Amino acid sequence: EAGVVQSPRYKIIEKKQPVAFWCNPISGHNTLYWYRQNLGQGPELLIRYENEEAVDDSQLPKDRFSAERLKGVDSTLKIQPAELGDSAVYLCASSLGDRVYYNEQFFGPGTRLTVL
Amino acid sequence: SQQGEEDPQALSIQEGENATMNCSYKTSINNLQWYRQNSGRGLVHLILIRSNEREKHSGRLRVTLDTSKKSSSLLITASRAADTASYFCATDALGYSTLTFGKGTMLLVSP
């Protein structure tokens, strides 16, 4: 069974440029998450989707970050314009989304973003 | 913000020794999960313990949960060099359906 797929794995851009990350979750997983992980820290949630609905985007910096999951399957996270402080690893995860017994999350390999 | 705080921040042991790392959190939880992250396999789920459980085992892993102290511990027995990684606790707080990760413990197991 394929895991969570993310692309690209690495991205280097100049500040003020736009960048986009793509994620394809495990088949059948209704819940999709985007996290940002800074060096030496744990992942921090940016946005959570239940199918195509963003149900928790309270930590998403909406002035420059946007995300979509149009058909409830794959998802794109965009930053425009990027700032130096956006350098981090962006992780995508998915889970079955069982609200009674909270499921484990399966993580993709991440995209390491460097903003110069 | 990060609810969980792992302790110690870094731990260095020899192969065959046991490794214990702790996690403290602030608010009431539904469950607590431990994850491992290394460069080879990314972030991987290890074990989940629910708020009504006190201890759980999985292979060489043993997790305890003390909700009165808002703390958990992860014990890795007979460690191997392949256990070298960062270990994170993640809490699922009551009323929320998202995980909050701690800063992690970096474990180094030397041959």
**A66, two tokens:** 């946007």
Residues 6+ apart with CB under 8 A from B100: A45, B1, B2, B3, B4, B90, B91, B93
Interface contact flag, B33 A104, Cβ < 8 Å: yes
Neighbours of A68 (CB within 10 A): 14
**Partners of residue B48 in chain A, C-beta under 8 Å:** 102, 104
Q: How far is B110 from chain A (nearest CA, A)?
A: 21
Interface contact flag, A43 B101, Cβ < 8 Å: yes
pLDDT value of residue A1: 65
pLDDT tens digits, one per residue of A64-82: 999 999 888 999 999 999 9
Amino acid letter, residue B8:
P
pLDDT tens digits, one per residue of B28-37: 888 899 999 9
Considering chain B, what is the average pLDDT of its residues? 91
B12 pLDDT higher than 90: yes
- What mean pLDDT is predicted for residues A49-76? 92
Q: Give the DSSP letter string of chain A.
A: ----EEE-SEEEE-TT--EEEEEE--TT--EEEEEEE-TTS--EEEEEEETTEEEE-TTS-TTTEEEE-TTSS-EEEEESS--GGG-EEEEEEEE---SSSPPPPEE---EEEEE-
- Within 13 Å of residue A115, how many CA atoms lie on the same side as its CB? 18
Residue A70 backbone zone (phi > 0: left; psi -120 to 50: alpha; other: beta) = alpha
- Within 13 Å of residue B79, how many CA atoms lie on the same side as its CB? 22
Interface contact flag, B42 A107, Cβ < 8 Å: yes
B93 pLDDT higher than 80: no
Which of B2, B30, B103 is facing A102, going by the closest CB pair? B30
How far apart CA A14 and CA A18 sit, in angstroms, is 9
B97 pLDDT higher than 70: no
